[in-house]
Structure 1
Amino acid sequence: MARLADFDQFQEALAMVEENTRHGGGTLDDEKTLAMLLSSHPETRRAGLDKWKTVARRQQLSLPEQVEVARLQETLKEWGEARIAYNALATNALAAAEPDLAYVVYAARALLQHNEVSDAMIWARKLEQREPDSARTLGLKVRLLKSQDLADDAATLLKAYIQKPGANLGVAAGLFEEVGQLALAEELFRKTAAQVKEPMSSLALAAFLGRHDHYDEALALCLRAAEQGAVGQALDVGLAMLREAGSPTEAHCQRLDGLLDEIIKKNPNSPVPILQRAELRSLQTKFAESEALYRQVLRQDSRNVVALNNLAYLLAAQDSKLDEAMQMVNRAMAISGERGSFLDTRALIFLKLGANKEALDDLNKALQDGETPFRRFHRAMALRPSDRLAAKKDMEDAQKMRLTAKKVHPLERKTYEELLDALDLN
């Protein structure tokens, strides 16, 4: 089910489905529709999980429904239950009349992300029995070796794989990067881009180069891909690259500006390229221009929650117009509910107002919605006055998630560095 962006629409749809369920006598299809709807929104996920359990007592869930339940349990921090669900998913996927190995891989990777190495190893062996030479079997085996600090063994496995006829060099390139073999990864990304000669292969190489700070060549590849017709994808890769760079040069930004001009010309009424340009201006530290662009979007659509949230963040990070910033983020929540990104923004506003308790409440809820290093950083800010050890733990976790000063928004870098110093983490 598509996620409903408007919280009012979500509540209306929920009331309608609940009414239909009551009058229809609660058919299985009604119960499933209600479970899907409840699961789609952060504020009703717990109720969604309970409803799925009710459905499961009436009928065995399909494989996609089992994924939904496992993901809900994982999101709600019920890892013990989620572990059981993922193992059951893999079991049922293999036992199906037509085994679906994609679900086995999905379950195994979820288990591995939570360091359930022995569980993941069982499914890797079963997968290898079914398709020993497939790229997804290779990927799972490589990640298992990496999780056991056997990166050299993983690299040896990959080197043997790429010698086989029909080897997927693009997949192998990404796996070489994961295990730290960057020279081999780059060689394969380049070889794939040269052989395939289609824009997405060039963009895969561009993304790799951007992740390793080779921005000039990476952006040149983005422009070449745009010339081949992949303008939107090239812009997405380029913007993600500069976001990671933190402080892009003016020349780099001008290259993306050209792509934005092209997209705006073709889609003059779309807010998306305007929002992307606003983000680009913010990265350039042209905050007044960024603010003006967000306000332009809001004049066209006062309910655009991305513009509301991003402008609220921009104002708060500048310690400016905090009352207006609070009104904007609260409006975004009234439209789309208490999403993690909105709670994070409101927490920053509370921090600027000196309301640490309120900030901490919002950040705890934001982290339940989804872990990000930025939310950990903001919670460390809220915790520092009252619980230095907990604040230090949050910052250490943020660093483990590869948060660095250059990845923090320019307006928050000074605070980030000061917090590291205060917590003896520099």
Structure 2
Amino acid sequence: EEPLKQAIEAAPEAATPWLALVTYYVRVGRSREAEQVLNEAVARLAADPPHLVPLTLARGYELLDDNDRAAKEYRRAVAASPDDVGLRILAADFFTRTGQFEKAGEHLRWLTDPDHAAPEFAVRWAQRRQAMIVAAGGAYNDTLRALQLLREARSRRGHVTPDDLRAEAAILAKRNTRRDKLDRIRIYQQIAEQQPLEPDEQFTLARLYEETGDWEQAREQMTALLREYGDRVLYVAWWAEALLRHEGPDEAELWVERARALDGETLTTTFLTARLLVARGRKTEAVTALRDFLNRQQPLGPDPATREQLRKLLLAGEEQLPRAVHVFGEYVKTTKDANARRVLAAVQERLAESNPDAAYSQLRRFMESTDLAIGVHADRLRESGRLLEELGLADQAEQFYRRYVEVSVRPEAHLEMAAYLGRQGRIAEALDLCESLDGRVPQDRIAGMMVSLARRDAATEADRKRVETHLAEAVRSAPDDSRLLMHLAALRDLQGDYDEAARLFQAILQTDSRNVQALNNLAWLLAVHFGKPHEALPLIERAIEIAGPQPVLLDTRAEVHLALNDVQQAVDDLLEATAQMDVPEFRLH
């Protein structure tokens, strides 16, 4: 702190030392002092250039996560120096990062306007950013338009730069079909012809090769990458797991050990060890390795009931601070948590100094960090359960899921447990758990889980009736909730009540015309069950326009074409679906 203040005194008219001190205060949780620094900077910063003060404030407010005030200051800065290209870039970047695309567009259009004669690098940057904003619309057609913008700009210039290609790859990454992955491979190969790929780009290329079934190229790429960057645990860990998938434990073991040497005992390396042990048939040891790691990593903190009590007291504000400190003090008496004792002493010291604001902030930060640590631990328990299921150890996974539910502060954790029970065929038990969540978890989340349980082979008619009763009551309580209507429609479809299912899908599309699932399902019903393929075709075409040629949508369109006696179009769609993703059911039509 002191050296930063000295830097300000050495150059009070420059922005950099002021922003460095603001950054420090924000990182240590002293936001009020950060604001005071910004206020002082206004009086001492240089008056020239005229945008210096508002730009410094804008960047400072960004650090404080106050985007409204930051936006206001960026606008002031641009108004003060409207022809400054660098300032336009900074403003466009801020508004893009914060999702204010219309405001970003104003500056991007200025940069690309030939009348302003911006340097070529700035024009290219703005054109790439314009394309990324279009792609952010989320629909498949948005990505098509974004790619077209990039290619048109490229054709006008007559050449393509690596940064242009990188922008194209980033847009394609928003889609996930096999064809898109192959296109990204081609793009990275083009970049490599102009300049060496960055290490992360080489890593991405290796993963794309593996995902598209070219293991030999993936191996070649990773071998070259690890020759130079074998000290990066991300690369080593992925390679070890890939070797387990493709070549077995003997090839992978060395890399598992290298990952442990680089990263120590982490969740990543423990998972790798568990995978290796299962591959060698040592399943009990794999479960023990996971359990021991999680036991050693278990964070200290108040029990769930005390955490919830403290959370409510702190949310009530400083008037409940004395009560919160008392509850926290009772916890400290029973714990070995040395950090909690230090925090309690600091809080009591701030109160003795008649500084309740600082006491409140310290206690709140402790609880936030505790909640974060416990949340991370809960996520590790959940991921451990998922891993064991993936490795064929579903029975052993249950203890990890149950512990996850106990530790997590989120009621939605029970839905994860319900899903696990459903996968094990314990449908009635899973439904009991779902029904117990009424009033604690949004109804659409409960309904979605219950319908997925009803779809399972182990579900009985009695189980499906329970789901129907629950859903009907939920819809009566919220008749306009399109998410609940979607779940009810899916249930009616499952029950063979196609008339009601179609009516519900049509009602959903009245209020949400871009609902891809409703478009797809209604098209299927119209073509397959109602003999109305002419009505179905525009619906499925609309779904593909929004979401792209996803295999499930191509499969539906193939059924529509078959109903229209357009066999060749149906075959083309099925061939495209199987090329995009190796999903066996597409091969059955």
TM-score by length of 1: 0.72
Provide the residue aligned with 1:82 in structure 2: 218
Call closer, same or farther: CA 1:297–1:233 in 2, change over 3 Å.
closer
Please give the per-residue CA displacement for 1:315-339, whole angstroms capped at 9, x wherever unaligned. Answer: 3342632332234223333444422
CA contact (8 A) 1:115 1:147 kept: no
Query: Taking every aligned residue pair, what percent have the same amino acid on both sides?
Result: 28
Pair 1:227-2:439 in alignment = yes
In 2, the alpha carbon distance for the partners of 1:187 and 1:119 equals 31
CA contact (8 A) 2:384 2:400 kept: yes
CA contact (8 A) 1:155 1:181 kept: no
Pair 1:249-2:467 in alignment = no
Give the secondary-structure state (helix, strand or coil) at the position aligned to 1:199: coil
Q: How much has 1:56 moved relative to structure 2? A: 3.0
1:215 alignment partner AA: I
Call closer, same or farther: CA 1:158–1:282 in 2, change over 3 Å.
same
1:154 alignment partner AA: K
In 1, the alpha carbon distance for the partners of 2:545 and 2:387 equals 42
Call closer, same or farther: CA 1:53–1:182 in 2, change over 3 Å.
closer
In 2, the alpha carbon distance for the partners of 1:90 and 1:230 equals 46
1:157 alignment partner AA: A
In 2, the alpha carbon distance for the partners of 1:159 and 1:5 equals 43
Pairing 1:210-359 to 2, within 5 Å after superposition: 210-225=422-437, 227-229=439-441, 231=443, 233-245=445-457, 249-258=464-473, 268=480, 271-318=482-529, 320-352=531-563, 358-359=569-570
Call closer, same or farther: CA 1:277–1:69 in 2, change over 3 Å.
farther
Q: How much has 1:154 moved relative to structure 2? A: 2.3
1:212 alignment partner AA: Q
2:466 alignment partner AA: A
Provide the residue aligned with 1:33 in structure 2: 167
Call closer, same or farther: CA 1:181–1:104 in 2, change over 3 Å.
same
In 2, the alpha carbon distance for the partners of 1:231 and 1:127 equals 43
In 1, the alpha carbon distance for the partners of 2:226 and 2:501 equals 47
Call closer, same or farther: CA 1:242–1:46 in 2, change over 3 Å.
same
Provide the residue aligned with 2:186 in structure 1: 50
CA contact (8 A) 2:526 2:536 kept: yes
In 2, the alpha carbon distance for the partners of 1:4 and 1:235 equals 29
CA contact (8 A) 2:270 2:289 kept: no
1:177 alignment partner AA: E
Q: How much has 1:212 moved relative to structure 2? A: 1.0
In 1, the alpha carbon distance for the partners of 2:241 and 2:397 equals 21
In 2, the alpha carbon distance for the partners of 1:369 and 1:91 equals 33
Provide the residue aligned with 1:162 in structure 2: 291
In 2, the alpha carbon distance for the partners of 1:83 and 1:288 equals 53
Call closer, same or farther: CA 1:33–1:178 in 2, change over 3 Å.
closer
Provide the residue aligned with 1:141 in structure 2: 273
CA contact (8 A) 1:316 1:349 kept: yes
1:36 alignment partner AA: A
In 1, the alpha carbon distance for the partners of 2:403 and 2:540 equals 46
Give the secondary-structure state (helix, strand or coil) at the position aligned to 2:265: coil
Call closer, same or farther: CA 1:27–1:280 in 2, change over 3 Å.
same
CA contact (8 A) 2:534 2:564 kept: no
CA contact (8 A) 1:35 1:48 kept: yes
CA contact (8 A) 1:90 1:104 kept: yes
Structure with bigger gyration radius:
2
TM-score by length of 2: 0.54
Provide the residue aligned with 2:405 in structure 1: 193
Please give the per-residue CA displacement for 1:382-424, whole angstroms capped at 9, x wherever unaligned. Answer: xxxxxxxxxxxxxxxxxxxxxxxxxxxxxxxxxxxxxxxxxxx
Residue in structure 2 matching 1:123, options 255, 274, 279: 255
Q: Which stretch of structure 1 is more off in the superposition, 275-284 or 232-241?
A: 232-241
Q: How much has 1:239 moved relative to structure 2? A: 3.7
Provide the residue aligned with 2:77 in structure 1: none
Structure scoring higher RCO (CA < 8 A, sep ≥ 6) equals 1
Count, aligned residues: 367
Unpaired segments of 5 or more residues in structure 1?
Answer: 382-426
Please give the per-residue CA displacement for 1:111-162, whole angstroms capped at 9, x wherever unaligned. Answer: 54445655544432211223453232222232234345x1xx1222322542
CA contact (8 A) 1:332 1:342 kept: yes
In 1, the alpha carbon distance for the partners of 2:383 and 2:183 equals 39
2:553 alignment partner AA: F
Call closer, same or farther: CA 1:172–1:72 in 2, change over 3 Å.
closer
In 2, the alpha carbon distance for the partners of 1:103 and 1:235 equals 40
Provide the residue aligned with 2:139 in structure 1: 6
